[in-house]
Structure 1
Amino acid sequence: MDGEQLAPQKAIMPNFLDFPVELIIAVLDYLPVRDLNRMCETCRRMREVCSRLLIWRRLGKSYVHFENSSGREVITNMESLSLREKCRIAHNWSSGFHTEHIYIRFKTGLLPWLQLTTDHLYISNMNKISRYKVQSGGRLRSLQSSKKEIKYTGHSQDVNKFVVKENNVVSGGSDGRAIVWDKASGRTIQALQSDLGSLVSIDATREIIVAGTNGGGVQMWRQSDGRGVRNVPMKDRVWSLIVDPTQRLFATGTSGNTDYTSLKVWDIATSENTPMLVCGENKRQGEGILDLIFESSNVLLSAGYDTFVRQWDIRTPRLPVMEFEEPSDNAVYCISSDNNYFIAAGYCRHGIVRFWDKRRSDICVQTIYVGGNVKSPVYSLQFNKHCLYAALSHAVYVLDFGAYKPEHENYTSPLEPLTLLSQY
């Protein structure tokens, strides 16, 4: 034995899976969301480690997550998602990955209007409004399974605008009628006729219906008995109208064809026909307002012909708080908000939808071309954390950002810089 040489022992290579959990997590912190999801699929040990909230909580700080969507009604149908799933969807938004399909195709060119609530998507189609079920994940059910959904009928001409408020659906049409339906049954509660022409914008409180007319002016009725409350004369058609969350004020946006400032705020209760506030210093050429949203009782968003989306504080209405200018000089037809940092705007050409971040007013953080090469404007849009719903002249499109990427897609390097949307 003394003369024998001992055989050298083979060095034992350390196994990454045998490392302490804290050390594995420290290494995984350097991976982007796509690689973390792939690590979860390798083995049980990695799935257990990668499922810990600590990893996704740190990674989630690098992505922007949409909060409650739509300035017209709060959407809370995504709260059940895990933090891992939220990071994956936010990564899809930041990279622009989505699947797109046509949900409804119209036989003729229309100006459809959308409203998204917790459980349903409402779509105007000529002289009726249809309701479609939204699943818990924010996606729409198939069109075939939605055939039994309620339709709200009663207009003799096209529905221009409508709003879903609490238990009612209130619409204004080209026939000059304002109709109130029961949301659950579709039963007509009130049918009111305007003497100022076509109703091009409408909103409601619990007691009052407020409608903007094509003939110039605002007409108001009491919901309980349909009796007229008051008329507010204006020298221009009222393209947009919105009631504030406290239901004490309403804002109007006119077409901008006169020498008067287009954006005004009115008191609902007063009998005087003078505005309480006028937003903006001077009349700007072509500043007609096409859409309005109250994010809160003091924060108002406006958009229109002059290519700007503006944020106003009605406590200091002399100048806008922020301005978001369309780089291609396109009019803004509609806006939607997550009531937090993000605004989605639909434009007058090529199905363009742009997302703006209130913390970066100088640059658009995401641009999406809905429908490929279509030339239609985006007449209405809504979004939640999973999907973007956009109404164009011939179809309603659903863009699903919660879809999974195919396995054969080209791999993205972890060292590749993230897009603007994910840098905050």
Structure 2
Amino acid sequence: MLLFQLPEDVLYHILSYLDCKTLSRLSQVSKAFCHIVSRDVVWKKIAKELLNTGITRYWTDIYPHILLKDRVKIAQNWYHGVCKRATPLKWKTKLLPWLQLDGDTLFLSQAAEIRAYPLRQDCRRIQRNPIKIYSGHQADVCRFVLTESHLISGGSDGKIMVHGRRSESPMKLFGHNQEVNCIDSKNELIISGSRDQTTQIWTLTSNCRRAVIPLYDRVWSVAINPALSSFVTGTACCENFSPLRMWDVERLECVCSLGSGFRRGAGVLDMVFETPFHLFTCGYDTFIRLWDLRLSPHKNVMEWEEPHDSALYCMQTDGNHMIASGSSYYGVVRLWDKRRTECLQFFQLSSDPVSSPVYCLCFSCSHLYAALATALHSLDFRHNLNITISNGVQDMAVCTQDMAADCCLIIDGFLVLS
């Protein structure tokens, strides 16, 4: 019996013991092996250990339409910082842009408008002409958030706009007295924070404001817990209050403060709930912090420090091992592996003498997009992969620079030669 004639469960169990390099060589042996090795079940265990493959710590698959084998290949470039840089969009006036990526569409705020740019299917480049423009603010858009049915934005005019993603007429909420610095929405609930030192809670279905919570400090960031039981506010830390506070959604009361000993001005600029129990925060104190909300009292269990002592304006996680952060100087984007405290890779996107912060970033399996004051930058991690061709089947080698060597291996007593 040949190896690939074994029952599938037995064969997959054998393949589960192989590493990336061996699987890549095995796929060169024949078309039959290439077909077997290309299946997701073979790569799932390996993918969970790598950066940005779309497999979260709880085995959720974020990109089910992309083969795991292909994602594992690209993950090697994320880890080693191999990418192709581009500047797909530029503008003359300095702005404070915000980004959201939804499938094949990139949403970018530019002045008082939010533009939806399609990503080309062939090479994932951005088309320069937007397919839709969301407007209605009388001043610049500060933040916006996407839901399945709506795009909700807050502007420096103090207003909150609710745009239906499939309808044309937006709905305007009265909003704040000053600019809306942050906004989040989940399951018809809207939380906004403003320079006017208040947080407001809205219900989307009834188009009415439920409550106004005075925080006595500028509110820079808000995040709703995925369990919808609470939300967290991050303030400028200019008063004698903790910048991080958790609130109950139903009672609208402060449940607790996160951390202590923050120095004055150590405001929280961005926060991300990775799970209902894990919260990531970053800001002016140059640290990314991971908070475990299951502990009592709640405390940060890990932290990563920006090595050049610059504020961190934004961050995103892949749900597993990777964090991407944007700093306040020279458009520096850093990649972090949560299993290490040191920075894994960094990319300086701007060389201007007058530096621009990375105001927002987002990423897919293969691309990272970062918005600076005058341009949108992209990093494409699909490039410069080592490519070999065997038996008429093209395949990209993973974790190896010596694919010219003889592809010989022994598996369970079988000798396999390419």
- TM-score interval, normalised by the smaller of the two chains: 0.7 to 0.9
Secondary structure of the residue aligned to 2:52 is coil
Partner SS state of residue 365, structure 1: strand
1: distance between equivalents of 2:185 and 2:20? 49
Give the match for residue 305 of structure 1: 284
2:392 aligned residue: none
Instruction: Give 3-state SS (helix, strand or coil) of 2:299's partner.
Output: coil
Superposed displacement of residue 185, structure 1: 3.1
Match of 2:75 among 90, 103, 106: 90
1:162-177 → structure 2 map (5 Å cutoff): 162-177=144-159
Which residue number corresponds to residue 406 of structure 2? Answer: none
**Is the 1:151–1:186 Cα contact (8 Å) retained in structure 2?**
no
- Tell me the CA shift for residue 162 of structure 1: 0.5
Relative to the length of structure 1, the TM-score reads 0.78
Matching of residue 184 in structure 1 with residue 166 in structure 2: yes
Residue equivalent to 1:283: 262
* Cα pair 1:31 1:414 within 8 Å, conserved: no
The more displaced of 85-94 and 226-235 is 85-94
Contact 2:141 2:154 in 1 (8 A): yes
- 1:153 CA drift (Å): 0.3
- Counterparts in 2 of 1:348-387, with a 5 A limit? 348-360=328-340, 362-371=341-350, 375-387=355-367
Task: Please tell me the residue identity of whatever aligns with 1:192.
Answer: L
Give the match for residue 122 of structure 1. 107
Shift, 1:51, TM fit: 5.8
Q: Which has the larger radius of gyration?
A: 1
For residue 234 of structure 1, report the CA deviation from its aligned partner: 1.4
> Aligned ranges for residues 251-262 of structure 1 at < 5 Å?
251-262=232-243
In structure 1, distance between residues paired with 2:182 and 2:263: 22
Q: Which residue of 2 is the match for residue 12 of structure 1?
A: none
Distance change in 2, residues 1:32/1:62 (3 Å): farther
Residue identity opposite 2:233 in structure 1: T
Task: Go from structure 1 to structure 2 and tell me whether the alpha carbon gap of 1:166 and 1:359 turns closer, same or farther (over 3 Å shift).
Answer: same
1:6 corresponds to: none
Unaligned runs of 5+ in 1: 1-18, 416-424
Deviation at 1:92, TM superposition (A): 1.6
Q: Which residue pairs with 1:13 in the alignment?
A: none
State whether residues 176 and 196 of structure 2, in contact with CA within 8 Å, keep that contact through their aligned partners in structure 1: no
Divergent runs of 4+, >6 A: 19-22
SS at match of 1:293: strand
The total of aligned residue pairs comes to 374
1:294-326 Cα offsets, whole Å, 9 max, x none, are 111111110000000001112325420111111
Residue 143 of structure 1 corresponds to: 127
Query: SS at the partner of 2:343?
Result: coil
- Root mean square deviation, CA, Å: 3.4
1:230 deviation in Å?
Answer: 1.0
> Which residue among 370, 379, 390 is the counterpart of 1:390?
370
Contact 1:345 1:354 in 2 (8 A): yes
Match of 1:159 among 141, 151, 155: 141
Contact 1:167 1:182 survives alignment (8 Å): yes
> Which residue of structure 2 lines up, in the alignment, with residue 10 of structure 1?
none
SS at match of 2:71: helix
How big is each residue's C-alpha offset from its partner over 1:160-179, in whole Å with a ceiling of 9 and x where there is no partner? 00000120111100001000
Q: TM-score, normalised by structure 2?
A: 0.79
In structure 2, C-alpha distance between the alignment counterparts of 1:182 and 1:58, rounded to whole Å: 37
Equivalent AA in structure 2 for residue 53 of structure 1: V
Contact 2:358 2:372 in 1 (8 A): yes
Contact 1:36 1:50 in 2 (8 A): no
Q: 5+ residue gaps in structure 2?
A: 6-13, 388-399, 404-418
State the SS of the aligned residue for 1:321: strand
Q: Distance in 2 between matches of 1:413 and 1:53?
A: 20
Paired with 1:75 and 1:382, the residues of 2 have a C-alpha distance of 18
- Alignment partner, residue 53 of structure 1: 37
CA gap of 1:398–1:270, structure 2 versus 1, over 3 A, is same
CA distance in structure 2 between the partners assigned to 1:196 and 1:279 by the alignment? 28
Please tell me whether the aligned partners of residues 211 and 220 of structure 1 are also in contact (alpha carbons under 8 angstroms): yes
Residues 413, 224 of structure 1: alpha-carbon distance in 2 compared, 3 angstrom cutoff:
closer
| Rounded Cα–Cα distance in structure 2 between residues aligned with 1:314 and 1:60 | 29
Query: 2:275 aligned with 1:292, yes or no?
Result: no
Distance 1:326 1:334, change over 3 A: same
Q: Residue 91 of structure 1: SS of its match in structure 2?
A: helix
